[in-house]
Amino acid sequence: MTSHAPVIDTAHIPAPLAPIIEALAAAAVELDAVIGRGPLGQSLGAQVGENTDGDTQKALDVQADEMFAARMRQTDVRWYASEEQDSAQEMTPQGAYAVAIDPLDGSSNIDVNVSIGTIFSILDARDDAEATFLRPASEQLAGGYVIYGPHCALVVTFGDGVLMFVLDREKGVFVLAETALRIPDEAREFAINASNRRHWKDPVRAYVDACLAGADGPRGCDFNMRWVGSLVAEAHRILSRGGVFLYPGDARQGYARGRLRMVYECAPIAFVAEQAGGLATDGQASLMAQQADGLHARSPLVFGSAEEVREVARLHAEIAAR
């Protein structure tokens, strides 16, 4: 019987969830190696189909989903819900837990060598998938992401602060690097896809225009802007140095509730942001108090430094009161 070194340091992980986190980490180690080979491996960015909502599906989206699903089948996970599958899969019938996952977030960046990620949420399993996943984000047991970048990191919260593990690529093991990641309250960096300005509602336009006006405008200070096109990369930057991220609903066809999915993107990112001392809303109200009305339902998402998230909400209230 060969003893195997654990793929992740589980000392700070609640024992009942450790096997699931280990399985997620094991799949992430495999996926990081595939991503790291880039064009030397098989074509990762080739379009192979469409998922539920007609989003293009890349080869790596499908491969990542298969890698995570295979690992989840070996754990106590009853329900597995993925961006890449129409409905939740039942795995271990008496399993106590459920996982919602975006196996590969940021697919449009695969072929241009920009950081991409995996986003995951763990909940307790109920007798049916709908009751399990369509519930307030505050009922998550864990939320987190893996970023496949210059280094590979796994960031997770269990409701008692935010842990960060960094992959030692030579040993194939995630090593604990931070036990209390914090988002600074103040920030002077915002992230939004500014090409959509003409489609935004007034409060979003007012917030961004004030940032662009900088020291000459109502904020009285200059701002910087970032937009990577990969939610996990934006989240990791904000957790590392502060900032605010906005993907609001807008006037484009199909974007009334924005682009991001509540169950396996917004909810876990909101959990991490709040546990790191930041805030997460739909632009106005706390996201953790909200629940999806469908497995792939979208939600507007504003998260990051508390002062900036509050300023976006203040503008929504001020303009609504006019």
Contacts with ligand AFP, residue ranges (CB under 6 A): 55, 105-108, 193, 229-231, 259-260
* Nearest residue to 150 via CA among 237, 217, 69: 237
Nearer to ligand AFP, 237 or 259 (CB): 259
Nearer to ligand AFP, 94 or 195 (CB): 195
Q: How far is the CB of 135 from ligand AFP (least distance, A)?
A: 22
Distance of CA 155 to the CA centre of its chain: 10
Q: How far is the CB of 96 from ligand AFP (least distance, A)?
A: 30
Residue with the two structure tokens 């200070």? 221
Distances (CA, A) of 17 to 82, 95, 122, 199: 19, 12, 9, 42
User: Residue 47 forms beta bridges with which residues?
Assistant: 58
Distance CA 132, CA 134 (A): 6
Q: Which amino acid is at 99?
A: V
Q: How far is the CB of 201 from ligand AFP (least distance, A)?
A: 16
Q: How far is the CB of 31 from ligand AFP (least distance, A)?
A: 14
Q: Where are the beta strands (DSSP E) in the chain?
A: 47-50, 56-58, 77-82, 89-90, 97-105, 116-124, 142-148, 152-157, 162-168, 173-178, 189-191, 224-226, 244-247, 279-281, 301-304
Nearer to ligand AFP, 61 or 308 (CB): 61
Distance CA 299, CA 261 (A): 6
Distance CA 278, CA 263 (A): 19
Q: How far is the CB of 107 from ligand AFP (least distance, A)?
A: 4
Q: How far is the CB of 77 from ligand AFP (least distance, A)?
A: 23
